[in-house]
A and B are shown apart, each in its own frame.
Chain A
Amino acid sequence: MALIIDLKPEEKILIGSAVLTNDKQRTRLHISGDTPILREKDVMQEDEATTPCRKVYFLIQCMYLARSPREYHPKYFELLKMIQSAIPSTSVFFSRINSNIVQGQYYKALRDARDLISHEDELLEASGISISSTPK
């Protein structure tokens, strides 16, 4: 079944290793096949990965785009170890993220990583740490 994506005017989307930029009207794309797809709004740049859980999101995003995701595994696990030791409740999110990574479902893993970031944000807020400078 094809994936249907509605693009806003001038919105960008990454499909495989190409970036498509929509023109000035809305567009609907029907995409079949097995290739990385990332919408502009879901993309995190490295300088936006300002907290440990945002770094997790960024690394999963890199795995998704990489031909050989394995190169990101050591950094990812290094980060997971630190986060899980400090915040054991994150293991719930990591178990889902890891299950999706094993299945090669990086898009779903990214969705779970967003929940992880929300958990971290709430924790930061409860700890009185300002997160205004950390983009979502």
Chain B
Amino acid sequence: MTSGIFLSTSLNRALSKSTVSTTADGTSPLEARTAILGIIKQSRREFLEVLQGFDGDLEVLEVALNDTQDVIAILEEAGGLTIRARNMGQHQDGFEQFKEQIQDAENGFLKTLMKLDQRIDLSTNSVPVNLLKGEALVIKFDPAGRSTLTTQGISLTAESLGFRRPDFSSLHSIQNSRIDVANAIDLAVTLRHMISSDISTIKTRREFCEVALSFLSQAQDSLGKPTSFSETESIPDLLSAKIFADDETMAAEGQMHLLHKLKTQ
């Protein structure tokens, strides 16, 4: 069996830099082939580990996104109660005339705050990290955890959000509750944006990881088989192969513009 591998000094350097322990040191093409296979196997293991981590991380983020959406709906419900109470209170003698209804709104407001806390507690049972309780999710992009992305949660419990005890006995005190709701919604929306952005990052990297893994598998298959071809013989075909359409530019307009600015005059 021939190796087919072209042993360049760059390849030798790359093989010697590798942390993979192989019996081959890359001094001959056949040994290089064994060393390359060792590196590919190690990379596959690492990509698989990262991918598995992504699955768990995405579950945490997607549960949190769904929960944040529910929290926003609950807060909007609370906000609706303050508006209803305010509208009734704005009538002449409104607080007297609609006393019972305003009291109902105040009770309803308290109940929605309890519902809010219950909703947040619910996620604790289903995922290991509850971002809505201010916990942080550390997403690893390599098995050693040297490269990470941290999604820092925000506690959205009624207490953490600083809700004052509702008091719908005057327009001024109703307004206080409205302000509390508006501030809480702002925080919940901020958390939703952060989670959405991190989901998008993880999905993009997961997709990349999956394709990269499939190419590693292909490389492992191809290097594992006996071969009669030589890399020095196949390079001319690669050079003459049509890679992209003639009129197709690789860079998008934004990047092209930036690169032109860097062009040496």
Q: Residues of A at under 8 Å CB distance from B?
A: 12, 14, 17, 19, 38, 40, 43, 45-46, 49, 51-52, 55, 58-59, 61-62, 65-67, 69-73, 75, 77-89, 91-96, 98-99, 101-105, 115-116, 118-120, 122-124, 126-127, 129
Q: Is the CB of B235 within 8 A of A92?
A: no
Q: Is the CB of A95 within 8 A of B40?
A: yes
Return A91 CB to nearest CB of chain B, in Å.
4
A65 to B264, CA, bound (A): 18
CB contacts under 8 Å to A, within B191-242, are 204-205, 207-209, 211-212, 215-216, 218-219, 222-223, 231-239, 241
- A61, A62, A95: most-surrounded residue (chain B CB, <10 A): A95
A98 to B209, CA, bound (A): 8
Given contacts A46-B259, A89-B32, contact A75 B250 (CB under 8 A): yes
Q: Is the CB of B235 within 8 A of A129?
A: yes
Beta-carbon nearest neighbor of B15 in chain A: A92
A86 to B252, CA, bound (A): 28
Beta-carbon nearest neighbor of B146 in chain A: A103
Q: How many residues of B contact A (CB 8 A)?
A: 63
Q: Is the CB of A91 within 8 A of B219?
A: yes
Residues of A within 8 A of B11 (CB): 89, 92, 119
A62 to B258, CA, bound (A): 10
Return B208 CB to nearest CB of chain A, in Å.
6
Is B184 in contact with chain A by the CB < 8 A criterion? Answer: no
Is B1 in contact with chain A by the CB < 8 A criterion? Answer: no
Q: Which are the 8 A-B pairs with shortest beta-carbon distances? A: A91-B219, A103-B147, A122-B8, A95-B43, A86-B238, A98-B212, A118-B10, A119-B10
A126 to B234, CA, bound (A): 12
Say whether chain B's binding surface is mostly helix, strand, loop, or mixed.
Answer: helix
CB contacts under 8 Å to A, within B1-41, are 4-11, 13-15, 18, 32, 36, 39-40
A8 to B46, CA, bound (A): 40
Q: Is the CB of A17 within 8 A of B215?
A: no
Beta-carbon nearest neighbor of B140 in chain A: A103
Say whether chain A's binding surface is mostly helix, strand, loop, or mixed.
Answer: helix
Q: Is the CB of A86 within 8 A of B208?
A: no
Q: Is the CB of B43 within 8 A of A73?
A: no
A127 to B262, CA, bound (A): 34
In addition to A95-B40, A101-B212, 4 A-B residue pairs with Cβ atoms within 8 Å of each other are A19-B261, A19-B262, A62-B250, A91-B223
A101 to B208, CA, bound (A): 8
Return B18 CB to nearest CB of chain A, in Å.
8
Beta-carbon nearest neighbor of B39 in chain A: A92
Q: Is the CB of B232 within 8 A of A126?
A: yes
- The residue from B13, B146, B207, B260 contacting A115, defined by CB atoms under 8 A apart: B13
A103 to B36, CA, bound (A): 22
A52 to B235, CA, bound (A): 10
- The residue from A46, A77, A96, A126 contacting B250, defined by CB atoms under 8 A apart: A46
